[in-house]
Structure 1
Amino acid sequence: MKSKKVLVADDSAFMRKLISECLSEHPDIEVIASARNGYDAVKKALELKPDVITLDIEMPEMGGLEALKLIMDKQPCPVVMLSSLTKEGTDTTLKAMEMGAVDFIAKPSGTISLDLHKIKDILIEKVLAAAKANISMKPEIAAKSAVIESFVQTNPDSRDRMVLPSQNKKGNKLVLIATSTGGPRALHHVITKLPAALLAPIVIVQHMPPGFTKSLADRLDSLSDIHVKEAEDGEILRKGTAYIAPGGHHLKLRKVGSSIVATLDQTNPEGGHRPAANVTFRSAAAIHRVEKIAVIMTGMGTDGADGLIKLKETGVVKAIAESKETCVVYGMPKAAVATHLVDEIVPVNEIAATIVKYLNDKR
């Protein structure tokens, strides 16, 4: 296998050395240069044309966001952001994902992380995955589709976040979304195009560490007609609201009377993930007389596929997979498609309209 050429950008000489040493331990990675700030990173990206760039969020002279924008404009390249766990750091990381960064990794102990070795394997995995990522999908948000505009015109109060009674005569519905690498940008494409009067709650499992899911929820909420929040233990799910599983917790669903309730726990990770979509999907499969729409979008690995099988075995389920051409990483959707249980394969900018179509199906 040809070595992937990596440019490491960080304002700390110590961190540049540590990151470079960690990556260089893998035989398929060659660190070809390092950059001390955003200006240096852009200059070397243009000169050296690396396969992947690791880019620190917080740098002097030119920060990571500004450097990322110039790199994606002038020399598009897969970028993995390195971030602190501060509120500012998590918010900026989410903006970087929207601007085209493939993935991110949280420094374990702040800007200068002497214990970077703790995340060495994750760093290597993310850099190798980024080298194969699809970065052609534009981060800008497409206009709402004709299906959604028609829904909004029929339900004019939807723009004011008023939740209408379900028009589904067969019973309640539930939307489940699973995603990982490239997920924040994919969710940006989908969630911001859904009408506020959505006829179901949405449950989202995005592979992220603690702290980042709250920033993701707040960011999507500020941009969307529907309400978006981080899920809380014991809360009743409401129509027109999207609930994001908190990093570090599995999100399980259970029926209490006529309501669906969220339950959070910290049982063992599944497939290396907590939250894991398979855990959420399996819990949803045990809820009867509720039709489900399962959506599996961009991400490494196979999370969601086994849960989809369980969903299909136990109830009425429509499954949507993101198509390969818009996935940053075509892993999770590929695994879902391989089950032969997916009803539609659509590009990310058509997923919102497909969800609305199924929610309005009154069969």
Structure 2
Amino acid sequence: MTKVRALVVDDSFFMRKLISDLLSKSGLIEVVDTAKDGIEAIDKIKKLKPDVVTLDVEMPRMNGLEALEQIMKNHPVPIIMVSSLTKTGTDTTIHALQLGAFDFIAKPSGAISFDIAKVKDELVDKILIAYRQKEKWIRQWNINKKGFISIRNQTQKYIEQLKDNQNIQGIVAIGTSTGGPKALQEVVTKLPKNIPYAILIVQHMPAGFTKSLATRLDSISEIHVVEAEDKQALQPGTAYIAPGDYHMVVERQSNQYFIRLNQNDPVGGHRPSVDVLFKSLSDVPLNKVMVIMTGMGSDGTKGLQSMHKDGNVIRIAEDESTCVVFGMPKSAIKSGVIDMIVPLYDIANKIVETIQKQRGWQSWN
């Protein structure tokens, strides 16, 4: 097998050495060089043309976000952000993912993590996946640079029909993993502010990052986006993102619906788990639009299988052509529970159309 050629970028000599040694010992990755900041990284990417880059977030001269923008503009390559669990680190990482970074790894114990070996397997796996997806990912990035055909105008004509209502009339549930932050930006920012459904989101992320993701999406969306809280009442026009390291479920009390968070055992290696959320919705007597998007593995399939097969539940899977990793949607599609297979840039439109049909409108004009 040809080794994956990686460039390691970190302002700490110790971290560059530790990460390089970990990757080299895998036997699958060749570290072609290292760089101490964004300026040096750009120069070495231009000269060495690595397959994948690991990029630190907080660096002098040019930080990870600034470097990412320059790299993606001039020399696009799959980039794994390596972030410390600080507010600055998490905020910048979420922004980076939405600007085109392939994925991220959280340093276990701050900027200089001598225990980085704890995430060795995860880091190696993500680099190998980035390498396998490289050509497809670069093609998608070039499309994104030119801009997907915006569906904002298509969605806008429906807004008058989606009237404000203090009682939710249904639920949109979204599950995603690798590539999810960028995919969520494509979908959530195109939903109209007075959508009569609550939106529940499970994105595989560690604690700390989901708050930054919610804040970032809220700042660029018409709907309200928050990190979910325990015992929080669901409201229409609001998206709730499951906090990292917590499962999110929905409970009914009288005629109201509430979020409940728990730290029960991970399911399929995940907490939060898409399956856990989806299964909790199986007996909720509301219209539901279930969406499974880009991500590794099969999380979400069992949850979709638990749904009653009736007109009140529509299941949407992201099309392979726009997935960063076609794992979760592929599993759901193969199981036979999917009603629509939709490219990323049209998912928001299909959600709105489905809501209208579920509410009994036969004409969109």
Unaligned runs of 5+ in 1: none
Answer with 145-154 or 108-117: which moved more: 145-154
Q: 1:143 is matched with which residue?
A: 150
Q: CA deviation at 1:77?
A: 0.6
Q: Deviations along 1:299-330, whole A, 9 cap, x unmatched?
A: 11111111111124588310111111111111
> 2:69 aligned with 1:52, yes or no?
no
Q: Is the 8 A contact 1:286 1:314 kept in 2?
A: no
Aligned to 1:24: 24
Per-residue CA distance 1:172-194 (angstroms, 9 max, x = gap): 32110000111011000110110
Fraction of identical pairs, as percent = 49
TM-score by structure 1 length? 0.93
Aligned ranges 1:53-72 → 2 under 5 Å: 53-72=53-72
Q: Does 1:7 align with 2:7?
A: yes
Amino acid at match of 2:339: D
Alpha-carbon distance between aligned partners in 2 of 1:286 and 1:149, rounded to the nearest angstrom: 32
Is the 1:302–1:335 contact (alpha carbons within 8 Å) kept by the matching residues of 2? yes
CA distance in 2, matches of 1:194, 1:12: 42
Residue 164 (str. 1) matches residue 155 (str. 2): no
State the shift of 1:144 in Å: 3.4
| Aligned counterpart, 2:91 | 91
| Aligned-residue CA RMSD (Å) | 1.8
State the AA in 2 paired with 1:270.
V
Match of 1:320 in 2: 316
**1:262-308 deviations in Å (ceiling 9; x for gaps):** 11000111111100100110111132x21211101111111111111
> What is the distance in 1 between the residues matched to 2:236 and 2:160?
19
After superposition, where does 1:283-294 map in structure 2 within 5 Å? 283-287=280-284, 289-294=285-290
- Aligned equivalents of 2:56, 2:5: Cα separation in 1: 17
Q: Which moved more, 1:138-147 or 1:303-312?
A: 138-147
Q: Does 2:257 align with 1:256?
A: no
Tell me if the contact between 1:142 and 1:189 (Cα under 8 Å) persists in the aligned partners: no
- Residue of structure 1 in register with 2:363 after alignment: none
Q: Alignment length, in residue pairs?
A: 352
Q: Cα distance 1:323–1:237, how it changes in 2: closer, same or farther (>3 A)?
A: same
The one of 173, 187, 194 equivalent to 1:190 is 187
Q: Alignment partner for residue 269 of structure 2, among 269, 272, 290?
A: 272
Aligned to 1:295: 291
| Counterparts of 2:309 and 2:281, CA distance in 1 | 12
Inter-partner Cα distance in structure 1 for 2:126 and 2:225: 27
Q: CA deviation at 1:165?
A: 6.1
CA distance in 2, matches of 1:165, 1:67: 44
| Partner Cα distance (2:27, 2:114) in 1 | 23
Shift of 1:118: 1.2
**What whole-Å deviation, never above 9, does each CA across 1:60-84 have from its counterpart, x for those lacking one?**
1111111111111121110000111
* CA-to-aligned-CA distance 1:125-169 (integer Å, 9 cap, x gap): 1111221232424265753344411112445xx7xxxx3367xxx
2:159 aligned to which of 152, 155, 166: 152
For the Cα contact (< 8 Å) 1:285–1:315, is it kept in 2? no
| Aligned-pair CA distance for 1:228 | 0.5
Give the gaps of 5 or more residues in structure 2.
361-365
Report SS of the residue matched to 1:311. Answer: coil
In 1, distance between residues paired with 2:62 and 2:242? 34
